Structure 1
């Protein structure tokens, strides 16, 4: 059988970049717009150093963009784990967690596909030739660092625990009483989505069942692997949903903190 990849064996040479007639360019264009807008918003908010904590009200909401808040410039009530970072304008208040969360997303298998196609055009879509003449894959720096995704997953899971703690303590008012409002619902919904996205990660699926040769000998891990595999099928949707939930949660807390509107209280 002759090769279908070697031009010398008679494979048809097509000068056009693609023969597709559908709008193949629309998904990468939407990815550029969506990811670009989110990065701009998140960058502005991370360096704003304001409107991240509802300090003037009896209830307390801390945006996930500033958690954990380690800077000496943070409100003491918002610094649940201490203050030891200097208050410099170019240093985010959550400078310890944000880089690892960014690296977790950057090395995510789905996001790789999204921004490789959208920003690098490598390739922009199936059956569409990429403009690059040379392809080295992820075998050289900096893309070689994509192999560290599993370790960024561990750190992201720890940060999700911190976000969970923030959502729980938000039910305790400053006077010690219990209360909750719309902000609590938004915080909890965001945390649930973050956990679903983290659990749906390909690394999580591999950690749970990737090294098992006999599922029958590990029934519990096999069951967990099956559940994670179901989530893994929704990884793309969860990747985008959590970007939206993070932005919505942050914007809501910013609006309440800035006094643009009040938090509708259900209890307390």
Structure 2
């Protein structure tokens, strides 16, 4: 029995199908939605990072994570918990020592790679859809070869998350003494919890905790830690998106209170 199927493309590793895809669903919606969401967040975060105002609420000690740690000589002294040593110029964010590393941590994140490879580079835009690029070199060439540095950015991001945690804790103390609790405190704490979820669910964290072990039975503590991190790792994509939302909400709330657009809802003090 003879077959009329053309298999000449098998040697090239791909079936000889003229159409870019045989999918009939709206496969383009997820990458489009991701593109719009990521672009909107990047635009908002960039504008806020360079505004150099409305980042601190002196009455309640609220500091937006976009300006933490605030190390510019132009920072409000009360917001500069780690000193002031970078110049106050318009092109340098007040949190210049943290923002670049946080950006690199997310850019090299395994989930975000998938997200922006598909939505911005169309490489590929969806499963079963051919990418428009003629050549594919993976992450073997500059600048994508730098994705391998993700582990080191994770360590720095963990330190910065500790700083964000400290910001949230000290905000419970009123500038004139005593304890204070407002809606801003709850927002700051919720944001920190989500940031820890994203940081600890990172693939590099999972590898650091349980990697290079030949026998888990000989390392019961690390095995329990690896098991816990593995459970978080299964939700890494959700944490990735949740933290983008929480960061924007936290920053906007602090900005709105600092600018006087709204007043903080006080619960205690």
- Scaled by the length of structure 1, the TM-score of the pair is 0.96
What displacement does 1:23 show?
1.1
Q: In the alignment, which residue of structure 2 is the partner of 1:13?
A: 16
Equivalence for 2:127: 126
Instruction: Please tell me whether residue 45 in structure 1 is matched to residue 14 in structure 2.
Output: no
What residue in structure 1 maps to residue 97 of structure 2?
96
In structure 2, C-alpha distance between the alignment counterparts of 1:169 and 1:162, rounded to whole Å? 11
Query: Unmatched 5+ residue regions in structure 2?
Result: 1-6
Whether the 8 Å contact between 1:110 and 1:235 is mirrored in structure 2 is: yes
Counterpart Cα distance in 2 of 1:5 and 1:240:
43
Following the alignment from structure 1 to structure 2, what is the Cα–Cα distance between the partners of residues 10 and 200? 35
Mapped to 1, the partners of 2:179 and 2:86 lie a distance apart of 31
SS at match of 2:51: coil
Q: Is the 8 A contact 1:71 1:93 kept in 2?
A: yes
Tell me the residue number matched to 1:209: 210
Deviation for aligned residue 1:210: 1.8
Conservation of the 8 A alpha-carbon contact between 1:61 and 1:170: yes
Describe how 1:163-174 pairs up with structure 2 within 5 A: 163-174=164-175
Contact 2:191–2:243 under 8 Å retained in 1: yes
Cα-to-partner distance string for 1:56-109 (whole Å, 9 max, x where unaligned): x2x110000000000000000000000000000010000000000000000000
Offset of residue 186 of structure 1 = 0.2
**8 Å CA contact retained: 1:200, 1:235:** yes
In 1: Cα distance, 2:168 partner to 2:192 partner: 7
Q: 1:108 maps to which residue?
A: 109
The answer to whether the 8 A contact 2:55-2:254 is kept is yes
User: How many residues get paired?
Assistant: 263
Structure 1 outlier segments of 4+, above 6 Å: none
Indicate which of 6, 31, 39 corresponds to 1:28: 31
Matched, 1:69 2:86: no
Q: Could you say which residue in structure 2 is the equivalent of 1:251? A: 252
Give the Cα separation in 2 of the matches to 1:177 and 1:256: 21
Question: Given the superposition, is the C-alpha separation of residues 267 and 132 from structure 1 closer, same or farther in structure 2, using an over 3 Å criterion?
Answer: same
Q: Report if the CA contact (8 A) 1:5-1:11 is conserved.
A: no
Query: Counterparts of 1:78 and 1:26 in 2: how far apart (Å)?
Result: 42
CA distance in 2, matches of 1:258, 1:66: 15
Residue matched to 1:266: 267
SS in 1 for 2:152: helix
Contact 1:182 1:263 (C-alpha < 8 Å) held by counterparts = yes
Alignment partners' CA distance in 2, 1:16 and 1:222: 48
Compute the displacement of 1:8 (Å). Answer: 3.6
Q: RMSD of the alignment, in Å?
A: 1.4
